[in-house]
Amino acid sequence: MGTHPLTALFDQPIAREGTQSLKYDGRVATFGTDDVMPMWVADMDFAVPEAVTKALQTRADHPVFGYSMAPESLYQALIDWLLVHHDWRVKREWIVLTPGVVPSLNLVVAALTAEQAGVIVQPPVYFPFFSAVTNQHRRLIENPLRLTDDGTLSYQMDIAQLEACAKDAELLLLCSPHNPVGRVWQKDELLALLAIAEKHDLIILSDEIHADLVYTEVPHVPLSRLSNESEPASPEASHRIITAVSPSKTFNIPGLGLSALIIPNETHRGAIQRHLQNIGVSVTNPFNLAAFEAAYREGGEWLRALMAYLQDTRDEAIAFINTHLPDIRIISPQATYLLWLDCRQLQLDDAALNRFFIEEAKLGLSPGALFGRGGEGFMRMNIGTPKANVLAALSRLQAALAGR
């Protein structure tokens, strides 16, 4: 990807302790100690784009923080972003603002499926996918990803097993790009998914929160856009697809809690809006509105610099692991700032593996077992931090492994 004039900004350390940061100030509650380098919860240690900071400061200068409504300019900023960055034409009426992608998962499951209906997830996957199903008293149907090893580890969808699952399901929760394995699903895979959805009248909620965090090797394909382009998919295929998007991961503002669902189907849209209204959740506030619009309107250059930086960090981390950590295999992510570490050669059960990282390596990572079937023996590492921190963490791991 090469360098970018702004990439040096990401080398600057920022002390986050004492800011009520879950990642840092939540270490004792999560790991039992604060003596770990925190590389778990998926936010970054980087300053947000200057335009976002300025927008928040400008709004803070006004001394009244009352109930707020989204301006039309906010919707237009999102529409413009999706067109420029993903070649996806979204209509204004399709957009429903929500208080975050995790609430959106629960919202869609509750609003569009019947109690005890089958909902498909594809583990190992972001763990709120599971609770979004079980919390709403729906039946969890698992379509595990297939880990292939032809010298390089890679994940694939099990399309044949998905077909069997779809016969008994109303909804599929798709993670695209995938957290934690880092796959960017490609056109042929998504077309196979769409064909199954068409055949079995399956609704798909496509969580595309990491869509902007894609490296140069492969492009992200919005599922809803593909459904309108492809044959033999019907012209109405996009009307079974709901897409979750947000500036939160892209611009490091997840704490501000504003996202959007893009819902071409008017019936689905109405049901979701009614459910949102019925549970009395406030979506907007003066600050998340300001940050959301500023990020999408003016954050493009910052994102280009971020991705250049993250790609260099990813590549150096992978090279270090391949050279110095022979007992750990790495799956090179095509997207996200998350590394999925295969630690199965250490021959530790999940509890012992987690203890090893905490007590011996002094690292706070996310245990792979949290992500469901297929996550056993893996650890998820957040590299959205200055590169020096990543290399220091890997050196800690190297020393801990040498001491076993």
Q: Which pLDDT belongs to residue 237?
A: 66
Question: Is residue 123 reached through a cis peptide bond, with omega within 30 degrees of 0 on the bond before it?
Answer: no
Q: What is the mean pLDDT of residues 282-308?
A: 97
268, 298, 328 - which closes a domain:
298
Q: How many domains is the chain built from?
A: 2
Mean pLDDT estimate for the chain? 95
Model confidence at 4: pLDDT above 90: no
What does the pLDDT look like over 351-376, one tens digit per residue? 999 999 999 999 999 999 999 999 99
Residue 3 pLDDT class (50, 70, 90 cuts):
low
In a domain, 54, yes or no: no
Shared domain check, 294 and 207: yes
Shared domain check, 351 and 221: no
Q: Which single residue is written with the structure tokens 């928040």? A: 56
User: Are the CB atoms for 30 and 364 separated by under 8 Å?
Assistant: yes
pTM, 2 dp: 0.96
In a domain, 252, yes or no: yes
CATH of the domain at 99: 3.40.640.10
Q: Which pLDDT belongs to residue 151?
A: 82
Shared domain check, 200 and 83: yes
Shared domain check, 252 and 108: yes
Out of 4-8, 122-126, 356-360, 378-382, which region has the weakest mean confidence (pLDDT)? 4-8
In a domain, 395, yes or no: yes
Shared domain check, 112 and 250: yes
Largest CA distance in the chain: 61
Q: Which pLDDT belongs to residue 8?
A: 86
Shared domain check, 251 and 355: no
233, 267, 298 - which closes a domain:
298
Shared domain check, 333 and 284: no
Q: Which pLDDT belongs to residue 116?
A: 96
CATH of the domain at 19: 3.90.1150.10
Shared domain check, 355 and 368: yes
Domain span holding position 342? 7-49+300-402
Model confidence at 191: pLDDT above 90: yes
Q: What angle do CA 142, 148, 151 make, to 5 degrees?
A: 160
Shared domain check, 120 and 202: yes
279, 298, 317 - which closes a domain:
298
Shared domain check, 131 and 26: no
Nearest to 389 by CA among 332, 327, 320, 326: 320
Shared domain check, 90 and 24: no
Model confidence at 2: pLDDT above 80: no
